[in-house]
Amino acid sequence: MQRSKFLIGGVLILVAVVFLIFTSTSASAQYFMTIDELADEGPAAVGRSLKLSGAVIGDTIQYDPQSLTLTFEVAHVPGDNADIEAQGGLAKVLHDAVVDPNRNRIQVVFVGPKPDLLRDEAQAIMTGKLGEDGIFYAEELLLKCPTKYEEAVPDQAGN
Amino acid sequence: MIADFGFGVLVVTFLITLYSVGAALYGELGKKPAFVESARRAQLLTFPLITVSALALIYLLVNNDFEIEYVYSVTSRSMPFYLKVTALWGGQPGSLLFWGWLLSAFTSAVTLRKWDRDREFLPWVIIVSSVTLAFFLSMNVFFENPFARMFWNSAGEFTRAMFLPAGGTPVPLQADGRGLNPLLRHPGMIIHPPMLYLGFVSYVIPFAFAIAALVTGRSDDRWIRLTRRWSLWAWLFLSFGLLLGGRWAYDVLGWGGYWGWDPVEIAAFMPWLTGTAFLHSVMIQEKRGMLKQWNMILIILTYSLVIFGTFLTRSGVLSSVHAFAQSAVGPMFFSFIGVTFITSMALLFWRWSELRAETEMKSMLSREALFLLNNLLFISVLIVCFSGVISPLISELATGQKITVGPPFYERANAPLFAILMLLMGIAPLSAWGLTSAENMGRINKPVLGGILAVPVVLFGIFWNQVNTALGGLTITVIVLAVILIILGFIYMFRRAVWQAAVVATLVTALAAFTYTHDIIALTGFFLIALTLAATLREFWRATRARQHTRQENFFTALWRLVGRNRRRYGGYLIHISMMLMAIGILGIEIFQMETQGTLEIGQSLTLGNYNIEYKEVANWDDLPKGVNYTRAVVSVTENGQYLGDLTPRKDYYYDSQQGMTIPGQYSTLKDDLYVLLVDWEPISQTGATLKIYVNPLVNWLWIGGLIFFVGIIIAAWPDKDPALAPVHAAKRVPQTSAAD
């Protein structure tokens, strides 16, 4: 009797947790996509909550402090860590992406303070939505500069 | 030279830990106590040895030896001395060494204790802690060597190695290093990582004892009693690491928040969850002899999550602001977690039937049942967090599409669980151990209970449309309603003990509703906070008055001695109070945060809430010895027309690492925090600046709660003068049915 009571209680809690996880996931799920995948998908991706990663192209960074509007372009980088490693590490992948004019690129608009880490060949990880105009409207912008961490390799030109 | 010496010592230490494992195993299985003793001494040796190695690295860091890759990547000449020292944990190889150093300090300390009564644990404690230490040292020795130099190999690729590779050339000595990431150049960074690491590392000790108990088949709670203080200190360090991290983020990251549900934050939060559950459930084993298997599961989980947390930060599996680049250590960590977890669980199942409970749980309202519920809730939060962290991995396996979840996921899924946990914090201390009926709480009157529960449901039925739009979605409405029903049900069942607190809480909530907010989630939160605070304070009051009465002491003497004699209990209650204060701060910033931004000319102003800020000037200058360029704006702050002072939000730019940092100007009161960021400025005319301002209501209660938390845990963990006196307290008002104590 006691045992079954506790079992029922436990099962109820489990059901509640699963319910919470499912409803919350459907409310806030974001799809990881690369820029190539986004290009393939085309208009079908418009309006979905996406998480996108790309290499920042330094020349395209524009910031209007009046409206706090930041625009820049990012170039495709692979989404898979194993691929990145295979191509020589994040710093190299980002560099290759930026210098390659044939890569898929996408324009990004972000409204807010300009992040300190935003610069050429940084990796931008953005969450937001693709607009019908083909521009990615980012709500969140996270930047990684691999040169700052482990792959800090001295410049060979100094030799 | 120093580098070779440091690395050599590291290799020797690694071999010694391996010897220690082997000798302990051989001595135990071969019944040769001399070998166990030898293993013990070997383990004792690891701490001084790793200290030498770590000091060697610190020496290199401080002396700008840029020949060494690690030194080159985390320091620069312009960094002050203390930052060069803390650069020890500013990168991956160094922080792994630091981890090992702390662990060796703890394992050496534990081998020094008197073992006479618990001799059979000794070899297994040595084995478990040495295996863990050996793992971390092997990471340093084979993959992430902090002493490695820089070379180009024969193919012209950059490599890190101790010695010149065949056909390679050394990288010429660099004039200056790249410097520590500016975000890490903050006083908070000096103590935040060591605190977290100390917390992580301390959990290895209770785990080692748990495994020793499993192997030797001691099914009593000896291992728990021996490690009670270890787990408390571990919990203290971990909690403080988390809090300091929050404070650091608030001061440095410049997004007006303190916690972003970043995977690495969650990675540190997960062992805290299981650790907190463990802290509570061991009391049930000590008092009632129940939940033995459960406690084993919790400590095994905590240990695995500690390693998993280190792994997440180190592997680059997940993207995060904390990320170090990925490296070869990822798969190693993964295998290590897998092997230790499976081995531990196998041991547990082998001993499963010997760890059966000595007594049965009689009532759903007894203290042990409520503690169990608390445990299940902590585990539920853990499941939510874990599923969130691994959602990209799982969804990719299942559908080929990577799905990630952001902060809204964690907030929505965890909020109801936290709400019930808060309620339990208020109510569980009022319940009794081993209760067999609901007599203490009054007989349950089913019609009245039904009525209490029915009223919100009926109200909801009538107004569901409005409620629905107000809360945004049926699911969240249903969740809020369920939480309210559970709260009411609990209060009814404990009505005799909590009715005063419930009245206070209702008054507070009504006051808040009239003067502050109509937000239902905030009001539910305020109600729970007030209820738990009132119920906990009433416990202090009631027990102090009782003591005052019987001992003829004055109120403060009575309170002092009461807490002094029952440190664990009242330290715990104080921690509950601090949690409630923190909850006030969290509710404040989560629900009521306001923000605005604008570009101002000198003399123009910006208004947010009651605050008005006027932009006065901006200045830009170099501090070349430090290698920093500062841009500082001055704004004057008025509240409702009254001048409060000037704030100076800053932007610092570090030349060596080519990275900037945004330092907010803050005006803090108990009511709220005004948080001003300098976003951008006009370099030529120096007239315009873009400012972003936040008002973060009540957030300072979060930090005040943190201080009280510290006091509480110090009280709870304070060593007893005479341990024999300690466990007596519970007997007075408890219908003890077994002789478990």
Q: What is the pLDDT of residues B494-503, one digit of tens each?
A: 777 788 888 8
What is the DSSP-derived secondary structure letter of residue B307? Answer: H
pLDDT at B441 > cutoff 70: no
Taking each helix axis as running N to C, give the angle between helix B520-551 and helix B495-515, from 0 to 180 degrees, rounded to the nearest 10.
130
Which of B152, B317, B679 is the closest to A68 by Cβ?
A: B679
Contact across the interface for A79 and B679, Cβ inside 8 Å:
no
Gap between the Cα atoms of B486 and B257, Å rounded: 31
CATH class held by domain A31-148: mainly beta
Interface test with A, best of B261, B476, B597 (most A CBs within 10 A): B597
The answer to whether residues B36 and B126 touch, using CB atoms and an 8 Å cutoff, is yes
Q: How confident is the model at residue B738 (pLDDT cuts 50, 70, 90)?
A: very low
Which has the higher per-residue pLDDT, B139 or A47? B139
In a 10 Å sphere around its CB, with 0-12 CB exposed, 13-18 middle and 19+ buried, how is residue B704 labelled? middle
The answer to whether residues B492 and B364 touch, using CB atoms and an 8 Å cutoff, is no
Contacts of A28 in chain B (CB under 8 A): 405-409, 412
- For the record, the structure tokens of B16 come out as 């010694």
Chain A interface includes B325 (CB < 8 A): yes
Gap between the Cα atoms of B457 and B482, Å rounded: 9
| pTM of the model as a whole | 0.86
Gap between the Cα atoms of B251 and B675, Å rounded: 10
pLDDT at B687 > cutoff 70: no
Contact across the interface for A158 and B660, Cβ inside 8 Å:
no
Strands (E), B81-230: 149-152, 158-161, 169-170
* Mean pLDDT for the stretch of residues B627-647: 89
Contacts of B152 in chain A (CB under 8 A): 156
Size of the A and B interface in Cβ pairs below 8 Å? 162
Chain B interface includes A129 (CB < 8 A): no
In a 10 Å sphere around its CB, with 0-12 CB exposed, 13-18 middle and 19+ buried, how is residue A132 labelled? exposed
Chain B interface includes A1 (CB < 8 A): no
Gap between the Cα atoms of B63 and B56, Å rounded: 11
Gap between the Cα atoms of B300 and B280, Å rounded: 16
- From first CA to last CA, the distance across chain B in angstroms is 58
Q: How confident is the model at residue B15 (pLDDT cuts 50, 70, 90)?
A: very high
Taking each helix axis as running N to C, give the angle between helix B263-288 and helix B367-399, from 0 to 180 degrees, rounded to the nearest 10.
150
Which has the higher per-residue pLDDT, B700 or A24? B700
pLDDT at B176 > cutoff 90: no
The total of other beta-carbon atoms located within 10 Å of residue B184's CB is 22
Strands A136-144 and A105-111: parallel
Gap between the Cα atoms of B416 and B422, Å rounded: 10
DSSP per residue, B508-544: HHHHHHHHT---HHHHHHHHHHHHHHHHHHHHHHHHH
pLDDT at B317 > cutoff 60: no
**Mean pLDDT, chain B, integer:** 83
Q: What is the pLDDT of residues A34-81, one digit of tens each?
A: 888 888 887 878 878 888 888 999 889 998 877 778 999 999 988 776
Interface of A with B in 32-71 (CB under 8 A): 32-33, 51, 53, 63, 65-66, 68
Q: State residue B133's pLDDT score.
A: 95
Most confident of B97-106, B510-519, B728-737: B97-106
Q: State residue A53's pLDDT score.
A: 85
A99-108, B20-29, B315-324, B711-720: least confident range: B315-324
Gap between the Cα atoms of B544 and B559, Å rounded: 5
Which has the higher per-residue pLDDT, B449 or B272? B272
In whole angstroms, how far apart are CA B189 and each of B244, B247, B256, B268, B411?
8, 10, 18, 15, 26
Gap between the Cα atoms of B210 and B218, Å rounded: 10
DSSP per residue, A35-65: HHHHHHHGGGGBTS-EEEEEEEEEEEEEEET
Q: State residue B229's pLDDT score.
A: 83
Q: State residue B737's pLDDT score.
A: 40
Domain boundaries in chain B?
Answer: 1-180, 217-355, 407-565, 594-700
Q: How confident is the model at residue A158 (pLDDT cuts 50, 70, 90)?
A: very low
Gap between the Cα atoms of B308 and B386, Å rounded: 11
Chain A interface includes B380 (CB < 8 A): yes
Gap between the Cα atoms of B524 and B530, Å rounded: 10
| Percent with pLDDT over 70 in chain B | 91
Gap between the Cα atoms of B63 and B80, Å rounded: 12
